[in-house]
Structures are given as structure tokens and as C-alpha cells.
Structure 1
Amino acid sequence: MIGNIYIITAIAVIGGGLFGFDISSMSAILGTQQYKCYFNQGPDGPPFNDSKCSGPKADVQGGITASMPGGSFVGALLSGFLSDLLGRKKAIQVGSIVWCIGSILICASQNIGMLVVGRFINGLAVGICSAQVPVYVSELAIPSMRGRVVGTQQWAITWGILIMFYISYGCSFINGTAAFRVPWGLQMIPAIGLFVGLLFLPESPRWLAKQDRWEECHEVLTLVHGKGDPQAPFVGRELREIKDMCEFERTNADVTYFELFKSKMINRTHIGVFTQIWSQLTGMNVMMYYITYVFGMAGLTGNTNLVASSIQYVINVVMTIFALIFIDRWGRRGPLIIGATLMSIWMYANAGLMASYGKAAPPGGVDNVPEESWQIAGAPAKAVIACTYLFVASYAPTWGPVSWIYPPELFPLRVRGKAVALCTSANWIFNFALSYFVPPAFVNIQWKVYVIFGVFCTTMSIHTFFCFPETSGKTLEDVEEMFFSGIKPWKTRVEFRKIVALEHGDVTDKEAAMHHEDVAAEKTG
């Protein structure tokens, strides 16, 4: 059994990479002539050398794209039950099997209906994995590394986007339907690797404790945190904290989703749900899905458009690295507030550039793509592209990873599986709405789309400051005490040094107890 947390994380976050594969397999393919002709809804269909194919209509393309997050919404809600019943690890394995089924249908799609069904099934898999991978990894990681390893899910998403984009770009030079069937088929490979890799990983010790499998729980803690020594100080402390929390939670009835809306839990539910909602309302995934439309408005066409779009994906991968290195020192609040503020600036800048220097596209849009109903040229167009890159660079080390790190840290063990499932489902329902409505929005309100997302980013920075407490540098049990203390969110702080000392046994049991008392006493400011 593998006990190295980095290897465990590397295997588990392949589940996040599946979402990345989906994003770029659609964004890179929807602009190709092969895709547009095969799924064409205009007067001209196959053969594939028909240069007049315009592809699916704007609302239909929105439905095709949105079918995946629609399935993810359902999958995320189901994942809470799966995770509590089967365990974190087996729930993720179920997701990998479902992904392969959906990918087979997508690869074999004969029409738009079959494509939508396949993408919906793929969405079920993404919903399961995206909800439970952060729970699984956060319950295995030591507190000082929790942000880093859970944030790796976002890095896996960025790598999935980048890898599949270049695969899809390369396949775009193939004649016929193989141009999109090959990348859609290849995306099964990481899911198979995920299923096999999980066979060699331990189950979450906190889930095992919840099932009264204490011997196995101790073995996993020894394997992952004690380097084989069951008497390691941190292993003993962690086991005691888990036992104390489980004893407290046994006084509560069986957990349902309704418990998340009771008076003692509603604040945490609101924070977790809005973390995921705001991560979508930044506009980032819109940029990822429809970046070829945005750059088309800026005058980029064909391969130039695709290459320029891929630069955005490279920026996403590189900038996420900073979060993996520093996020546990930075905390959660700071990156969320700063990231939202910067993103609002770039959105407003793009809106101003489009409004001041752009103009309505001719009938039929740019290059016969109706979604590109606005166009801008020259230096202002280059500025739009630059602001888009800066937007991605602002999102990647902030809202990207923190939106996955934060929700699992907010909730106690008894509700964590269902709570994170609910939070993640909020992500996917807003992803669904945006995927569906953005193509028509580009047609109907054009550059004003940027204003809308700029306002969202401004609002989320204010909301975060007043409502989101700091969870970095605390054990999952400490976070529980912090919420009971009633401290104001803007008075909470990162406690990275304290938790590192606790993990390495550089403090006595008395000092460890004082650390937990400090967390509980933060209500005094």
C-alpha cells in the first residue's frame, strides 16, 4: 500500500484532470470544420470539404457544452451518498468507470442527441470525482500540506486542459470524423489509470473511523503520517482528535442533506456553496470553453486562434504552481480577495476596450461564426488578448485551487462527504447555466458580457472579506472549534508555523492543548 502523500495525491487528482480533458476537447474541437460540418444545422452538411458549414446553432452548442456540467451537478449530489456508503476511494473508482462509459458514447456519436447523452454521462463522472477527490486528499493530508495537495486538483485540471487541447489541435489536421473521435476516445486512458492506481492507495482514515474500523484507521495514519511508526507523536494526536470528534458526532442523528441547513451549519454551507458559485461567476470556465470565440472577435482566425488560445492554457498551468508552493502560507482569504479584485480589473478593461474600439460584426458573425458578433482590430485587439491572459494569470493561483481546497476544510466529519457534494453541485449548476447562456449572450449583448463578470468579481471580493474565515494552519478538528467560537472572519489568521511545529513534535502535549484552546478562544479577537 502506498503511503507517500505526494504519490497518493498524484493518482487521486487524475479525477480532476478528467474535467480538464472535457473543457479543452470541446474548446479546441468546436471551431474545427470537421466538427461544424458533421454536426451542422445550417443548409450545408457533409462532405467535410464544404467550407460553408457553420456548425450547431448558438443555443444548441450551448446545450451540447452545458450537458457535461448538467451531469456533473447530478453526479456531485449522488457522490455524497456513494462516498458515505462505499468510502472515498471506491466512490472515485465508480466515477472512473462512468467516465469510460460516457467517453465511448461520445466517441461513437452519430448525432447531436447521442453527443449530449454521452457528455451528460461524462458529467456524472466528473461530478463524483470533483466532489470526492478533495475530501479524500484533505482527510489524508497533514494540516500544513493540506492546501498544497488539495490544490493539486486544480493543477491536474489545468494539465488536463493543456494536454487534451494539444491532442485535439493535432487531430484537427485529420480529415473526416477521426478529427474529433480520436481525442474523445483517448480521454478514457487517464480514467483507466485512475481506477488501477486507486487499488494501491489507502482509504481515508476519517471514513474508516466513522465506520468504527479503528485498527485500519490507525494503520493508515501510521502509513501516511508516522513513516511506519505507530507510536509517532503526531499519529497519536491525530488519532485522539478523530476519536474525540467521532464520539461527539455520535450524539447526532444520521446525517442528511437537511442537516446542512440547520442553524449550526447554515453559515458553513453558505460559505462553501458560494465558494463554488463564485469560482464559476469569475467567468474563467467561460474563457476556457469559448476562448476561440473571444479571440475570433479580436481578429484571430484558424490555427492562429488555436495557438493563441493554447497560450492561455500554458499560463494556467504555470501560474497554478505558485499556489501549490505557497497557498498554505498565504492562507485562503487573501488569495480569494486579491484574485477577485484583479479579475474584476481585467474584465472591466476588456469591456472598455470592446465598447470604445470595437464594432458590430457583419451579418453572420466573424468567419461565419455567429457567436463572434462583435469585432475589434489593431492595438486594442492585442490589449484584449493581453487582458485575457492577465485574467487567467490572476485566477490560476487564487480562485482556481482555493475553490477546491476551502470547502472540505469547513465541515465536520459526519457531514463532510455530503457537504462537499452539495458545494460542488453548486459549482456545476452554475457551470451548466453559463455554458448554455454565454454563446447567445455573445450574440445578444456582446461586450457587455465582460461588464457582468466584472460586477460578479467585485461582489465576490466584498463577500469574501466579510464572510469567509481563515482555515489555513488548522486541523480539521480545529476548524470545527473555530466556527463554534463565533470569531469574525476578518479577525481569523493563518497559523502555519504553529501547525508545522505540532506536526513535527516540536511542542509538548501541554503546548498542543494550548494550541487548540487558542483556536477556540479566537472569539475574543
Structure 2
Amino acid sequence: MFRLYGILLLGYLCIVLQGYDGSLMGAINAMPQYQQFFGLKSAGSSTGLVFAIFNIGSLSALPFAGPVNDYCGRRWGIMVGCGLVIVGTCIQAPSLNSRMFLGGRFLCGFGQGFVNVSAPTFVAEMAHPHWRGPLSGLMQTNYFVGSIIASWITYGTAFINGEGSFRIPLWLQMVSSGIVFFGIMFSPETPRWLMAHGKASQAEQVLAELHGEGSVDNPFVKLQMAEMNSQIGHDGSDKRWWDYRDLFNTHAARRRMVCVAGMSWFGQYSGNALVSYYFPVIVAQTGITNPHTQLLLNALNPVVSWFAAISGAMLLDRVGRRPLLMSGVLGMAVCLAIVTGCTKLSVDTANKAAGNAGIFFIYLFSVIFSIGLVPLLPFYIAETLPTETRAKGTAVGAVVSSSASILGQYTTAVAIEKIGYYYYIVFIVWDVIECLIIYFFFVETKNRTLEEMNEIFASPNPVKASLKKRDMVEVVQETVKGVE
């Protein structure tokens, strides 16, 4: 079991890498040293491009990420991604001009595109079924581990009067990717990928080692093998790596993709880009103009968010996915409405109390987002997709996610410069719309096996079917009957 946790840790570190970049760029963007060296402002079109180029790189990688994961395996997808991040860091960190810096960030994003597809699938397929919800949910909370590390490193290096203030944090971006790159070499491939490629005996051995205390006769091993034999079979992998039609050619497939695309977009375009990348800028609008104070507040935000995200992960199998998502997006809309009002008072009347209240609700927005959405971002997508198309579906979700990130990062920089806090109203309205979409189209995956979701999406009304309670004995009996 301890080896399983070590293997899952590699997947977690992939998310640490993503979180590190999010806070890294938001923090160094507030440094006068960085702005002067590259000739940038804290907001505007050029700044938006610097932020967005990472996700443009990620988006560019996705046509290749799905096929690599399906054809070569989840391990290779992670290894390729981390290798590219290492190379990109070696270009970005010592960059002499903005063009070189943008090139390095593009390559880092290209590698992250592979990781975004591989890591969630790897963790979901490796996790013990009894703890799959919490373990997979905890994965995305590691975004804040990376964010915390980057925030506090940049807070410390900001006191350096020179290029080291932003170059040191940039170099450290390759630490987690380096650990994963070498560590994944010693990890086995996921049982479901092995089964889908006709390697049932290897899949059974991996399950026995990681889930069955070394015994192929362990009940958990037998049950999972029965499920995979029933739902996946020896031809379960889609060998047509270029063909994405299976994601859309049936009613069930299209309903799955509604959940995948919706979750991917909501995770990046619910107002969270404002806080993740532009936190110091937002704080400045509330009246806090000292760069070191801005960076300190920026460093405290992911600490609070991390604890909130862990709480959300623990609630996944108690509350359910749909209640967390709906309450989360509504709570975020309320917080942004209050932040907008407080910022207006602070700007128009120099009301310090309103500015402080605005900062409090920015933190509360982060807490609600961390509880309601963060634990589910990659996990819910992996849950709704079948093994045969999981890598391709995750890749499509990553395309949607990267597109939302690019739109949010670039337009936010321009909008904040042009219309300031009035831009928040866009996300207030959109978050309410998100709640309606979740209510009518998102299925509940609580207490469902990855294979059992096939039956739910095949029903005329997947949402209604997913809310129907089932006895575990019934599930086991149907699985065994399907194998026989």
C-alpha cells in the first residue's frame, strides 16, 4: 500500500507543477525588477500574452497527448510532458528578452498539456477503489501546494535588487517536473490500460501488488478484474488514435462530453483566473499599493485555499459531486458581487473599510472555489469517461480548459486595464448560468465504479439515473453476471 501512495504522489506532483506556474507568474508580474527588464506593465495586452502563452502551448500539445496516452501508456505521457517542461525551463529562466521568455513559456505549456491529460487518468486508474474519491479529489488540491511554494519563494526573492528576484523562482520550476520524470520510470503502467491492450496477467499482477497486498486472490483484485473483463475486454483500447468520432457518435457519448466540456470550462472561467494570475492587481484596486504587501497577501491566499481544497476532497463521497459544484458556483457569484461593490466604494470614496472587506471576500471566493470545484476538476472528467476513450476525452477536456484559460488570462489583462472592477460582473452572471447547466446536465458519480457509469449514460435521462440509489450487492451481482 505504501508503494501505491508513492506512485500516486508522482501524479500529485504533476499538479504541483501546474500550481507553481499559476502563482509564479502572478507574483513576478508584480515585481518592478521583472517589469523593467522585459518592459511590461502589471496589466494590458502584452502582459495578457505572457500569461496566455503557457496555455497556448498546452493547447497545442493536446492533439498529440491523447494518442500518446492511448497508444504508449499513461507513464509515457507523463514522462514526455515533464521532459518538455524541463527543457522549457532551461530556455525561460535565463531568457535575455521577451521573445526568448515567451518561447520558454510556450514549451513549458506544451509539456504541461501532456501532463494535464496523463496525470488525472493515471491517478484515477491507479487509486484503490475504496479510496478513489478522496485520493483522486486530493490530487487537484496539490495545485495549491505548488502555488504556496511559488508564492512564498517569490515573496522572499522580491527583496533581491536584481534579476535574481524573478530568475530564481523560474529556475525552481523544474524541480517537481524533474522528480516526476525520473520517478515515473520505476512505476508500473495502470491496470486498466494494460487490460485494454490485452495484457490481463500484467494487469492482475499490478492490482495484486497495489490493491491486494500481493495476492491475486484478494477480493478487491477479483472484483476489479471481473469489472474490467466485463466492461473493457481485450479490445477495449481504441487503436485508431487519430479518430475522435467515438466521443460524439452516440447519445451516451455526447452526454459524457457535455460533462467533460462543462467541467473543463467551469474550472478555468469562473472568475478564478482573476485571483490566480491577477491577485496583486485586484488587491491594488482595493487600495493596497505596496508591492511587498501585495505579494504577502498573494502568498497567504493559496495557504487558505489549500486547506479549503482538502476539506472539499473529504466531502466528495459524503456530499456528492453535484451539490458541491452547484453550491460552489453560486457562492462564488455572491462573493464577486460583494467584491465589486466594495472595490467601487474603495475607489470612489477612498473607503479603507470597504477595501479591507473586498480583500476578505476575495479570500472567501478562493475558499469556496477550492471546496466546490478544485477537488473535482480532473477527477470528475476521468469518472465520466470510459476506459477506451478516457485519454482522448481527457485531451478534449484539456483543449476546452486551455481555451478557457487563454480567453480568461488575455481578456482579463485587457479588461482590468480598460474597465477595472466592472469586469467582475461578467463572471457574476456566468457563474449563475453555470449552476443551471450543472443542475440539468451533470450526472452524480458518487459511489459509482468507473465501469458502472456506462449504464448511467446509456439511459434516456442520465442525470435521473445517476441520482437513483443502488445497493452494493446489486452492483456486484450485475458485474458477476456480466462476466458469466
Asked if structure 1 preserves the Cα contact closer than 8 Å seen for 2:88 and 2:107, the reply is yes
Residue 284 of structure 1: aligned partner: 272
Deviation at 1:414, TM superposition (A): 1.0
1:393 maps to: 367
User: Equivalences for 1:324-473 in 2 at 5 Å?
Assistant: 324-359=313-348, 377-473=351-447
Work out whether residues 147 and 302 of structure 2, in 8 Å CA contact, stay in contact via their aligned partners in 1.
Answer: yes
* Separation of aligned partners in 1, 2:159 and 2:238: 60
CA gap of 1:331–1:346, structure 2 versus 1, over 3 A, is same
More helix by share: 2
Say which is worse superposed, 303-312 or 64-73, in terms of deviation.
303-312
Partner of 2:287: 299
1:192 Cα deviation from its structure 2 partner? 0.9
Residue 12 of structure 1 is matched in structure 2 by: 11
Please name the residue that 2:191 is paired with: 205
For normalisation by structure 2, the TM-score amounts to 0.94
In the alignment, is the contact (CA less than 8 A) between 1:470 and 1:494 conserved in 2? no
Counterpart CA distance in 2 for 1:474 and 1:149 is 15
Q: 1:319 aligns with which of 308, 327, 330?
A: 308
Unaligned runs of 5+ in 1: 42-54, 360-374, 500-506, 518-525
Q: What is the CA-CA distance between 1:491 and the residue it aligns to? A: 5.7
Q: Is the 8 A contact 1:335 1:397 kept in 2?
A: yes
Q: Which residue number corresponds to residue 165 of structure 1?
A: 151
Counterparts of 2:238 and 2:57 in 1: how far apart (Å)?
A: 32
For 2:65 and 2:121, locate their aligned partners in 1 and report how far apart those are by CA, in whole Å: 11
Q: Structure 2: how far apart are the matches of 1:403 and 1:338? A: 15
Secondary structure of residue in 1 paired with 2:452: helix
Offset from partner CA, 1:75-126 (integer Å, 9 cap, x none): 2332111101210012101111000001011111111111111111110111
Larger radius of gyration: 1
Q: 1:217 aligns with which of 203, 207, 216?
A: 203
What residue in structure 1 maps to residue 448 of structure 2? 474
Q: Residues 224-263 of structure 1 correspond to what in structure 2 (within 5 A)?
A: 224-247=210-233, 254=240, 256-263=243-250
**Cα displacement (A) at 1:177:** 1.1
> After superposition, where does 1:468-507 map in structure 2 within 5 Å?
468-490=442-464, 492-493=466-467
The residue number in structure 2 matching 1:372 is: none
Corresponding residue of 1:367: none
Distance (whole Å) between structure 2 residues aligned to residue 312 and residue 490 of structure 1: 38
Please tell me whether residue 24 in structure 1 is matched to residue 23 in structure 2: yes
By how many angstroms is 1:453 displaced? Answer: 0.7
CA distance in 2: counterparts of 1:131 and 1:213, whole angstroms:
22
Match of 1:139 among 102, 125, 128: 125
Q: CA deviation at 1:56?
A: 7.2
Matched residue of 1:486: which SS?
Answer: coil
**Contact 1:473/1:494 (<8 A) preserved:** no
Following the alignment from structure 2 to structure 1, what is the Cα–Cα distance between the partners of residues 369 and 468? 21
Q: Which residue of 2 aligns with 1:107?
A: 93
Contact 2:17–2:143, Cα closer than 8 Å, also in 1? yes
Give the Cα–Cα distance (whole angstroms) in 1 for the partners of residues 201 and 239 of structure 2. Answer: 25
Amino acid at match of 1:314: V
Root mean square deviation, CA, Å? 2.3
**8 Å CA contact retained: 2:84, 2:111:** yes
Contact 2:66 2:395 in 1 (8 A): yes
User: Identity, % of aligned pairs?
Assistant: 27
The alpha carbon displacement at 1:3 in A equals 6.2
Give the structure 2 partner of residue 521 of structure 1.
none
**Residue identity opposite 1:218 in structure 2:** E
Aligned residues: 479
| 1:457-477 Cα shifts (integer Å, max 9, x gaps) | 111111101110111211111
**Alignment correspondent of 2:57:** 71
Q: 1:56 to 1:514 in 2, by over 3 A?
A: closer
C-alpha contact (below 8 Å) 1:3/1:223 kept by paired residues: no
Structure 2 CA distance for aligned equivalents of residues 494 and 354 of structure 1: 45
Q: Deviations over 1:430-480 (max 9, x none)?
A: 101111111110122222211111111111111101110111211111011
CA distance in 1, matches of 2:267, 2:304: 18
Does the Cα contact within 8 Å between 1:148 and 1:323 map onto a contact in 2? no
Whole-angstrom distance in 1 between the partners of 2:297 and 2:237: 57
Structure 2 counterpart of 1:182, one-letter code: I
Q: Give, as a single letter, the amino acid of the residue that structure 1 aligns with 2:46.
A: V
Distance in structure 1 (CA, Å) of the matches to 2:312 and 2:277: 23
